[in-house]
Amino acid sequence: MNEIIAGVEIPETAAVAEATRVMREMTSPLLYHHSRRVFVFGVLHARRLGMEPDPELLYLSAMFHDTGLMTPFSDMEQRFEVDGADHARKFMLDRGFPATAADVVWTAIALHTTPEIPGRMGPEIALTNLGVLTDVLGVGLRELDPGQVDETTAVHPRGDFKNEFLQAFVDGLKYRPDTTNGTVNSDVLEHFVPGFRRTTTVERILGAPWPS
C-alpha cells in the first residue's frame, strides 16, 4: 500500500525503501524526520511552481542530505555536505544507478546549504535546497497549504527542532571547524563553541604567500 503524506506519495522503489532503512540506522530521529519533511515540502513546492522532479532522486537527495553530520564518509576532513553527497553517490552506484543520476543527487546534497545557486539548477537540486530552507528557516512556508504542513509535521514531528538541530550541527562540526570556512556552518560554531572565530576571507587574502 502506497505511503502518502499530505497528498505526497513516497516513491515505491527498492532504493527508496533501502534508503529509508539506512537513514534510520545512520542518523538520529531528529534528522530522519527532518529529511522526510524536506522531501514532502520539496514536492509541495514543485507542484506550486510547476516543476517536475524525479521523485526517487528527490527522495534520495532529501534523505541523505545531512548524513555527513553524523556518519562521516571519508577519513579526511571535508565539508559535511560533501560527506553526505559521497554517501549518497556510493549508495546509488552500488545499486546500479547510472552515474548521471548519482551526479544529480550528489550535487543536490553538496549544494543544499549554498545560497542562491541551487535554485538556478535542475529541479531535484533546487527543490532539495528549497525543502531544507522551508524546514529550517521557514522560507516559502507561507506559500504552502497550512493543512498539508500540519499533516506533514503530525507524521514527522518537529519536537524541539530548532535547538536540537543546532546542537546536531555543533556536534557534527566542532571537531572539523576548518571545513566550515566560507559556509553558513561557521555561524553555528561561532555562536556555540567558546573561542572559535572563523578566519575571514580578508585575513586569508592578506596572509597569502605573495609580496603584494
Does residue 89 belong to any structural domain of this protein? yes
Supply the CATH number for residue 149's domain. Answer: 1.10.3210
Does residue 43 belong to any structural domain of this protein? yes
H-helix or E-strand spanning residue 5: strand 4-5
Q: Which long-range contacts (CB under 8 A, 24 or more apart) does 157-166 make?
A: 157/33, 158/33, 158/37, 159/30, 159/33, 161/30, 161/34, 164/30, 165/30, 165/34, 165/136, 166/192
Does residue 71 belong to any structural domain of this protein? yes
pLDDT-derived band at 164, boundaries 50, 70, 90: very high
Does residue 61 belong to any structural domain of this protein? yes
pLDDT-derived band at 26, boundaries 50, 70, 90: confident
Contact 62, 131 (CB under 8 A): yes
Does residue 172 belong to any structural domain of this protein? no
Does residue 56 belong to any structural domain of this protein? yes
Contact 186, 180 (CB under 8 A): yes
Contact 152, 37 (CB under 8 A): yes
| pTM greater than the 0.75 cutoff | yes
What is the residue-averaged pLDDT of the chain? 96
Tens digits of per-residue pLDDT, 88-123? Answer: 999 999 999 999 999 999 999 999 999 999 999 999
Tens digits of per-residue pLDDT, 36-82? Answer: 999 999 999 999 999 999 999 999 999 999 999 988 888 889 999 99
Give 183's DSSP letter.
S
Q: What residue numbers bound the domain in which 140 lies?
A: 4-158
Structural domains counted in the chain: 1
Q: Which pLDDT belongs to residue 72? A: 80
Does residue 171 belong to any structural domain of this protein? no
Mean pLDDT (whole number) for 120-132? 98
Task: Render 111-128 in DSSP notation, one character per residue.
Answer: TTTSSSSGGGS-HHHHHH
pLDDT at 1 over 80: no
